[in-house]
Structure 1
Amino acid sequence: MSKMNFNDYGRCMATYNSWQNGVLFDLCDQIGDVERRLDRNMFFGSIHNTLNHILYVDLRILTILRTGEAGPFAPTTIVADDFETLKAMRAEVDADITEFVEGADHSWQDEIRELPFPDGVTRKLPRQLFLVQLLNHQTHHRSQITSELHKMGLDYGNTDVPYTPDLPIS
């Protein structure tokens, strides 16, 4: 790939996030429910709550990207209380993200979204920025979980984007 445009970025990062979420959920499956729900003094308390927060924000940002609407922000929302449902929903949302970035109509990228934020400020932002936020937000909170997994003696492995299997580049 000699150049990378925003469409390429979106496809690469959607593939990366799907890969990393797969690795994360496989490891979290291994530690069991008690360890996932243990309050580890993380920002959202437990690994389980942090996985829910990531999914909640992804669903919220996908709605903003698709409709421009955002309901009240409730960052501690539990989207799925049991791990198997959470894992299935994670895979579905990753597929939705991929479908969104691979869509044929990229005219959405030129649009501006005007939304109120939890700090009380209404911001006018390019729609592209919400996709960047969705992808960055996942990385931010996955790192909190991988830090906890490391403390438990689990090797998370490589997180570098160029190692992403089946990276969609030409």
Structure 2
Amino acid sequence: MNSARPDPLARHLLSMAYNNGWANQRLLSACAQLSQAEFEARRCSFFPSIKATLNHTLCVDWFYLDALERAQQDLTPHPDCYSFFAADEPFQSCADLQREQLSVDLRLIALCAAQRDDQLERIVTIARPGRPQLETRTRLLAHLFQHQIHHRGQVHAMLAGSSVAPPPLDEFFCAGEADKRAAEFAALGWTEDLIWT
């Protein structure tokens, strides 16, 4: 990795966006092997099922990514930001969730690819009722990644009590483990060079 590369923080956030997309694809591919009954089964977690947890993370991604994209385009905040939560579980099948999650993950990658270090402290406004929420892009992106990691861990634990083994999610693109993700990268149309150069 070239240590002289400009915009190191923005580059790191882009690698986080790629890792987020890959981890979601790996986890949802495992969940896709569940029967619908197992996908919906009541389990012990913050949200009561794998289906409910995956729907929640998707809705939260829509919520924050909309705010980030609007800020990037110098648009006014969404006038009804809670519309992204109009349905608690907008998708009933894992296949639909996987498709929609990949779509939002690709939007997040595109947003991070457009960032520069000197833009990351710019304020993003979310027009919450009563008082707007004001966050820098750095903080909002960090929050979004942490939220995903948190709930992926919950789904991972719930999978352990199902007929499908939870996939490894505890790596961050280690150079020596590229072969372990090569097939998934190929399916996503990604390469190691795309992420690291």
TM-score normalised by the shorter chain: which range applies? Answer: 0.7 to 0.9
Structure 1: tracts of 5 or more residues without a match: none
1:111–1:53 distance in 2 versus 1, CA, 3 Å: same
Greater alpha carbon shift after TM alignment, 72-81 vs 39-48:
72-81
Does 2:143 match 1:133?
A: yes
Structure 2: tracts of 5 or more residues without a match: 72-76, 182-191
Q: Residues of 2 paired with 1:63 and 1:94: CA distance?
A: 12
Q: Residues of 2 paired with 1:107 and 1:66: CA distance?
A: 17
Does 2:48 match 1:50?
A: no
The number of aligned residues is: 169
Aligned partner of residue 113 in structure 1, secondary structure: strand
Q: What is the Cα deviation at residue 157 of structure 1?
A: 1.7
Aligned partner of residue 34 in structure 2, secondary structure: helix
Percent identity among equivalent residues? 25
Aligned partner of residue 162 in structure 1, secondary structure: coil
Aligned partner of residue 31 in structure 1, secondary structure: coil
Alpha-carbon contact 2:27-2:167 (below 8 Å) kept: yes
Greater alpha carbon shift after TM alignment, 152-161 vs 8-17:
152-161
Alpha-carbon contact 1:17-1:138 (below 8 Å) kept: yes
1:124–1:91 distance in 2 versus 1, CA, 3 Å: closer
- Determine the structure 1 residue equivalent to 2:189: none
Q: Deviations over 1:34-93 (max 9, x none)?
A: 111011032121100100111100111111101252512749722322322211111111
Q: Deviations over 1:116-148 (max 9, x none)?
A: 658x66443212211111111111000001011
Greater alpha carbon shift after TM alignment, 60-69 vs 78-87:
78-87
Q: What is the Cα deviation at residue 23 of structure 1?
A: 1.0
Q: Residues of 1 paired with 2:57 and 2:89: CA distance?
A: 10
